[in-house]
Amino acid sequence: MNSPELPFTARQRLSELALGNTFADLPPSFYTLLNPTPLPSPYLVCGSEAAAALIGLDPDEFSSEDFLQVFSGNAVHAHSKPLAAVYSGHQFGVWAGQLGDGRAILLGEAKAPSEPGGSLELQLKGSGKTPYSRMGDGRAVLRSSIREFLCSEAMAGLGIPTSRALCVIGSDSRVMREMPESTAVVTRMAQSFVRFGSFEHWFYHQHPESLKTLADYVLAQSYPELRDEPHPYKALLREVTRRTAELVAQWQAVGFMHGVLNTDNMSILGITLDYGPFGFMEAYDPAHICNHTDQQGRYSYRMQPRIGEWNCYALGQAMVSLIGDVDEVHQALSIYKPAFDARMAALWQGKLGLRGVMEGDEALLERLLEILATNRVDFPLFFRRLSDLKRDDPGADTPLRDLFMDRPAFDAWSVEYRLRLRQEHSNDTARKLSMDRVNPKYVLRNYLAQTAIEKAQQKDFSEVQRLLKILQHPYDEQPEHDDYATLPPDWAANIEVSCSS
């Protein structure tokens, strides 16, 4: 399940790809037209065939000179109208004022028949300074580009809404971060890169007409079905809020932590956007903070659901004048909690392999999460191994039980769980099948990304390519890659991931 399909049979050359740019039809105050800054001595690090297939691009093009030039930013594709968009946002809960594409350039949109809306925008990230770069150099380092590339495609493999990544192009040129690092450009694809912060921009700058223009654009491009609603703007806020709630529930279920849930990183489509210091939960700790810079833990695992809602409120505030009535705004936002709770409950139920809902299920889950936390049990491994539990044979529990320091705590929980399975006459074989479709065997653990990055920094891209292939099928057994689904090595504890990228 969830293997990236190859839906678009066309295999076009890059030069044949028709690019539109509807965003460029918006008023000039929404963006700045500019070309990417050339990248010296570019080379291909990795391309995603599954992403290319979405826009009907022949993957053989990855090795063409044309591809290298266009996706390094050295050449501008015919029909492309490159631009950087303006937006604002709340960062770490504080109004940050104007931000914008400080290192991203939108090339235009390609046809993508299998995608909602039928098109995908192509955007370079790390392609040089723009008028919105503030103090930044407009570049992205190879390390963060590989992380964004792999995680985008991994999330798609997990079946979680996300921007996609077409390729990473590296360069020997260096920029300064904590130390000098080589630069790269990652090409991202999404139906739209409009953010909550794009709406906030016009609200805080007191441009109600531009706010309306933006809302109408988003409705036409991304939510055409809502235009006939009696209150289209309210319907838009409600739908974005619902999607955001469901997205965060999906993150929680696989242990994904975004790391920088500022409103400028929140997609108006409800997809995962702007991969930075993200992480996947390994040793379970609900207070886990994946972003080294986030000392307060605002974006910790357990905070994500609340922050998702907070961000929707920031969007709602920006939309009050459009919707016309604060009560209507509150009504639209009130979908968040029930939408999150319902999706989250369904996801936990699936993760536990329960077919029905029974009284006591919540308590069963709570007790489980408690012992997972006190024992710092590896989150993906636990749920993957849980599917091997035999309803009537505790003797076969060893690999699962061994994940706990406190084995009696697990034994006590497993008694309750088995009782629950018997209550619904659970069948071991069917349960394993359904659980293995929702509990990934492979996630992008920090150390896996780090290993691939270190090799890539030595110009060996084989590990990036291998990881990409594994992570595109995270629910498949892939026994030849068992060693990618084990506990992290000790050195992994020292990996620090920060906002610096």
Q: Which amino acid is at 135?
A: M
Cβ-proximal residues to 133 (8 Å cutoff; 6+ apart), any chain: 102, 103
Query: Distance between the two ends of the chain, CA-based, in angstroms?
Result: 33
| Residue 137 touches which of Mg ion, ligand AMP, none (Cβ within 5-8 Å per kind) | ligand AMP
Q: How far apart are CA 296 and CA 324, in angstroms?
A: 36
| 264 carries an active-site annotation | yes
Q: How far apart are CA 196 and CA 211, in angstroms?
A: 12
**Beta strands at 19-20 and 180-190: parallel, antiparallel or unpaired:** unpaired
Question: Buried b / exposed e across 411-436, counting CB within 10 Å, b at 16+?
Answer: eebbeebbebbeeeebebeebbeebb
- Report yes or no: 262 and 288 within 8 Å, Cβ to Cβ: no
Cβ 173 to ligand AMP shortest distance, Å: 13
Residue 105 structure tokens: 């350039």
Phi then psi dihedrals of residue 420, to 5 deg = -65, -40
Specify the residue, 183 or 387, whose C-beta has the smaller distance to ligand AMP.
183
CB-side exposure of 15: number of CA atoms within 13 Å? 4
| Residue 382 touches which of Mg ion, ligand AMP, none (Cβ within 5-8 Å per kind) | none
Specify the residue, 36 or 100, whose C-beta has the smaller distance to ligand AMP.
100
Mark residues 136-165: x for contact with ligand AMP by CB under 6 A, - for none. xxxx--------------------------
| Residue 99 touches which of ligand AMP, Mg ion, none (Cβ within 5-8 Å per kind) | ligand AMP
Query: Apex CA 441: angle with CA 435 and CA 445, to 5°?
Result: 140
Residue 64: strand, helix, or coil:
coil
- Report yes or no: 254 and 442 within 8 Å, Cβ to Cβ: no
Cβ 29 to ligand AMP shortest distance, Å: 17
Determine whether 118 is exposed, middle or buried from the number of CB atoms within 10 Å of its CB (0-12, 13-18, 19+).
exposed
Q: Which of 109, 121, 153, 274 binds Mg ion (CB under 5 A)?
A: 274
Q: How far apart are CA 305 and CA 320, in angstroms?
A: 23
Q: How far apart are CA 95 and CA 263, in angstroms?
A: 10
Q: Which of 45, 99, 160, 364 binds ligand AMP (CB under 6 A)?
A: 99
| Residue 191 touches which of ligand AMP, Mg ion, none (Cβ within 5-8 Å per kind) | none
Cβ 360 to ligand AMP shortest distance, Å: 42
| Residue 103 touches which of Mg ion, ligand AMP, none (Cβ within 5-8 Å per kind) | ligand AMP
Residue 383 structure tokens: 């749920």
Among the listed ranges 130-138, 248-256, 473-481, 482-490, the one in contact with ligand AMP (CB under 6 A) is: 130-138
Cβ 251 to ligand AMP shortest distance, Å: 17
Q: How far apart are CA 339 and CA 276, in angstroms?
A: 26
Cβ 197 to ligand AMP shortest distance, Å: 9
Decide if residue 197 touches ligand AMP (CB under 6 A). Answer: no
Cβ 87 to ligand AMP shortest distance, Å: 7
Among the listed ranges 15-23, 101-109, 294-302, 306-314, the one in contact with ligand AMP (CB under 6 A) is: 101-109
Sole residue written with tokens 């150390």? 447
Q: DSSP of 308-377, one letter per residue?
A: HHHHHHHHHHHTHHHH--HHHHHHHHTTHHHHHHHHHHHHHHHHTT-SS--TTHHHHHHHHHHHHHHTT-
Q: Which residues between 210 and 269 bind ligand AMP (CB under 6 A)?
A: 260, 265
Decide if residue 148 touches Mg ion (CB under 5 A). Answer: no
| Residue 133 touches which of ligand AMP, Mg ion, none (Cβ within 5-8 Å per kind) | ligand AMP
Among the listed ranges 81-89, 272-280, 329-337, 410-418, the one in contact with Mg ion (CB under 5 A) is: 272-280
Q: Which residues between 251 and 270 bind Mg ion (CB under 5 A)?
A: 265
| Residue 71 touches which of ligand AMP, Mg ion, none (Cβ within 5-8 Å per kind) | none
Which position among 58, 264, 294, 436 bears the catalytic label?
A: 264
Q: Which helix (H) or strand (E) holds 44?
A: strand 43-47
| Count of residues engaged in binding ligand AMP, rule: CB under 6 A | 16
Residues of this chain that bind Mg ion (CB under 5 A): 265, 274
Residues of this chain that bind ligand AMP (CB under 6 A): 99-103, 132-133, 136-139, 260, 265, 274, 276, 499
Catalytic site residues? 264
